[in-house]
Structure 1
């Protein structure tokens, strides 16, 4: 039994997608000579490279058993897939925007005789229907932000993460159609027939996500100082304490903490009597 995982072949989410698979133990064997399909360190798992916009349909049709792509592309393709995990990167929004110099400052000021340009006609049509609007939709494959200034459309819907590009092109956000991020998805039939393997991939990737910005802190503490260390020591799941063979009664203490706590915590631990403090990265938490 084998599975294929479809990942974007290029674009802003390609490398992060590959990186998260590698951290999960699914490194590509022929990474430097990328082909349509690449083997991984697991002989039963292959990676298939595809356009991000094609991945929802590939997973829907069973061409790939799993995939990594954006919510916006899943919704636009109207694919029937199972969302397994939010991969916590690639956050973006599909927004409705109008030229700053236009008289459109809200949805209520949009007229049915206007045109709207977009790379997302399905989501745009759904939004317009919800608002009771009947605009002509002009489908574009890029440079959507230029449409109002070359006379193609009065409005646009486009993806943005910070809004900077829209501002640079003198466009103002009127409304948000969809908030998107990158998801790990699966084919419904594959999830039933290849459940064990798919769940293993999902669990490994979740372990990588849960370990993000976490550190393992270990130290030696005299038994007499242990209560003081406990008072200042946060922990994800409680402290692990073990005896140290030493002339003085000493224990080894370890705990998982957030990365942002490290700077102040190390000083607090030292002042509480901890010694030999080590801060180490964590690859996965299962």
Structure 2
């Protein structure tokens, strides 16, 4: 049972997508060459590198069984795929933006728009149709920011994460069309025929995502302080408590905590007389397996 995974060959999500697969245990055997196809350490799994914009269609058509791409691209292509997981990175927004010196300052002003330049004609056209505004869509393959400056469009619809690029080009955000992030998608037939293998891949990826920003804290504490320690490190389903061989006064407590809480938690535990404290990285967390 062979599984082909489609990944972006370049761009902002290519590196994180490859890293996510590797952390989940699906390492690429020839990633350094970044060929069109790459084998993995699992002989039943291969990777295909292609444009992020093409991945929704490749997965929908069955050229790839699963893929990692932007939700915005899936919606733009209107691809008939199964969304398996929001991978919780690459958050971005498709927004309408107008020149700072134009009369278009609010959503109500969009009724005066005649032409919109965008790389996302389907999503953009749907947005203006919903508002009852008849516009001409100028489909571009890049550099949409320049369109209003050279007089070929009144506004643009473009992706932004921070808004910095828009401001640098003297453009003002008017409204958000669509919120997007990077998602894991599957071919619907593949999901039925190869469910077990695809589910295993999804579980591996989910485990990596759930482990992000978390640490395992291991500490020995006095039994008399155990209840207070439980309040400090409640863990995911409660801390794990073990007896320490040869010491009746101490117990070992293991718990998963957020990385941002490590500093304060360590100091609070020290005040309770905790000893032999370890903070350990977590590669993967599998809940409800």
Normalised TM-score (structure 1): 0.97
Residue-by-residue CA offset, 1:103-139 (whole Å, 9 max, x unaligned): 1112322346721111111111111111111111111
C-alpha separation in 2, matches of 1:86 and 1:152: 36
| Displacement over 3 Å in runs of 4+ | none
C-alpha separation in 2, matches of 1:41 and 1:118: 40
Residue-by-residue CA offset, 1:38-88 (whole Å, 9 max, x unaligned): 111111111110100000000000000000000110011110110001011
Match of residue 244 from structure 1: 244
Match of residue 51 from structure 2: 51
Residue 110 and residue 225 in structure 1: after superposition, are their counterparts in 2 closer, same or farther (change >3 A)? closer
Residue 41 and residue 99 in structure 1: after superposition, are their counterparts in 2 closer, same or farther (change >3 A)? same
Match of residue 255 from structure 1: 255
Residue-by-residue CA offset, 1:192-231 (whole Å, 9 max, x unaligned): 0000000000011000011111110001123233233223
C-alpha separation in 1, matches of 2:176 and 2:196: 38
Residue-by-residue CA offset, 1:240-266 (whole Å, 9 max, x unaligned): 111112355321110111111110100
C-alpha separation in 1, matches of 2:58 and 2:51: 10
1:122 aligned counterpart, secondary structure? helix
- The answer to whether the Cα contact below 8 Å between 2:38 and 2:48 also exists between their aligned partners in 1 is yes
The answer to whether the aligner puts 1:96 opposite 2:96 as a matched pair is yes
C-alpha separation in 1, matches of 2:33 and 2:45: 18
- The answer to whether the Cα contact below 8 Å between 2:113 and 2:155 also exists between their aligned partners in 1 is no
2:25 aligned counterpart, secondary structure? coil
Match of residue 14 from structure 2: 14
Any gaps of 5 or more consecutive residues in structure 2? none
Match of residue 276 from structure 1: 276
Match of residue 28 from structure 2: 28
Name whichever of 156-165 and 238-247 sits farther off.
238-247
Q: CA RMSD in A?
A: 1.2
Residue 232 and residue 50 in structure 1: after superposition, are their counterparts in 2 closer, same or farther (change >3 A)? same
C-alpha separation in 2, matches of 1:246 and 1:269: 22
C-alpha separation in 2, matches of 1:206 and 1:12: 21
C-alpha separation in 2, matches of 1:228 and 1:117: 60
- The answer to whether the Cα contact below 8 Å between 1:75 and 1:123 also exists between their aligned partners in 2 is yes
